[in-house]
Amino acid sequence: MVGLPVVHVAAGVLQNTKGEVLLAQRAMGSHQGGLWEFPGGKIESGEQAEETLQRELEEELGVQLKQYRPLIRVSHRYEDRKVILYTWLVSQWQGEPYGREGQSLSWVLPAELPDWPMPEADKPILLALDLPDRYLITPPSVNDPDLFLRQLRKALTSGVSLLQFRVFGLEEPQLVNLALESRLLCEEQGVRMLLNGPVGLARKIGAHGVHLDRRRLAAFDTLGDLTGLLLAASCHNAQELRQAQGCGIDFAVLSPVLPTQSHPDAKILGWKVFSDLCAHVSMPVYALGGMSADLIHKSWLHGAQGVAGIRGLWPNDCEAGYHPGG
């Protein structure tokens, strides 16, 4: 039996200084005609994806790329073909974009993108655009809640915009109170907080989402109503990544990429294995294990959304009161 033809495509997400991104409308007689997409085109034989990106955006928009970086790789199966889409986030270019092939163009705020009719293959890109390049995880052990909250406030004012509240060992009233105060701090700073814990507790404290550990991911069908929650999952291998994607998880954390102080003897993935694993799922994946903000750019080059971490992202002037992990 002959399989579906595979089409490799390179696309650029041009984002201007207002935060808007550029959409182009597909010709009515083409595949997915009339829908709006991120500009790009097919990768020709013998051509690298990055070369295609540069060529297509010059041919379609009349621009020359100056600054861009990998965003996400998406694989999508249509009835008549399989599309593998390599996307870049483009922040600087030369020239004013215009439809050189007669196509309509529109600058759209990311929050408004779900309202535009787009090919299914483009939709994971919207989530990659919505997520930041850092995912802060709280230290798991808290001996001094006031100190914890002071350090959390400091972390949230340093540019972090996505937080996983992951605290163990407290009695339920203390845990609920600390989680609620943390969520209020996040609200003040415009930061989304996911709870690593029961869905009921996440609802109770008004968390923006839930982060599933390996056990909760395996029991996904029993977790109850998750409507309206941002969903993340901890993964360590290809099977768990596939399971997370199959469950409709929004993004994953894959670890351990590098050695950590908390688990020095753990078997690490390394960047090559991490990259290979990311290439088989179409959702944002953060690199965890030995990460710091200095490794964000390297993580992009290996297919990551960015980096996740505790020690590497939490304020490093720890006074006392807990012992951060790696």
DSSP state of 111: G
Which two structure tokens, joined as six digits, stand for 184? 């209020």
Q: Cα dihedral angle (21, 276, 298, 213), rounded to 10 degrees? A: 80
Q: Are 230 and 238 in contact (CB under 8 A)?
A: no
> What CA–CA distance (Å, rounded) separates 35 from 105?
12
Q: Which residue from 287, 281, 180, 184 is spatially nearest to 239, judged by alpha carbons? A: 281
What residues form the annotated binding site for 8-oxo-dGTP? 26, 31, 37-40
- CB count in 10 Å sphere of residue 301: 11
- In the chain, the amino acid numbered 117 is P
What residues form the annotated binding site for Mg(2+)? 40, 60
What residues form the annotated binding site? 26, 31, 37-40, 60
Q: Are 61 and 98 in contact (CB under 8 A)?
A: yes
> What CA–CA distance (Å, rounded) separates 230 from 240?
18
Supply φ then ψ for residue 138, to 5 degrees. -70, 155
Which two structure tokens, joined as six digits, stand for 203? 């609802």
DSSP state of 54: H
Tell the burial category of 2 from Cβ atoms under 10 Å away from its Cβ (0-12, 13-18, 19+).
exposed
Secondary structure of 71-127 in HEC code, one letter for each residue: EEEEEEECCCCEEEEEEEEEEEEECCCCCCCCCCEEEECHHHHHHCCCCHHHHHHHH
DSSP state of 120: G
Which two structure tokens, joined as six digits, stand for 280? 């088989």
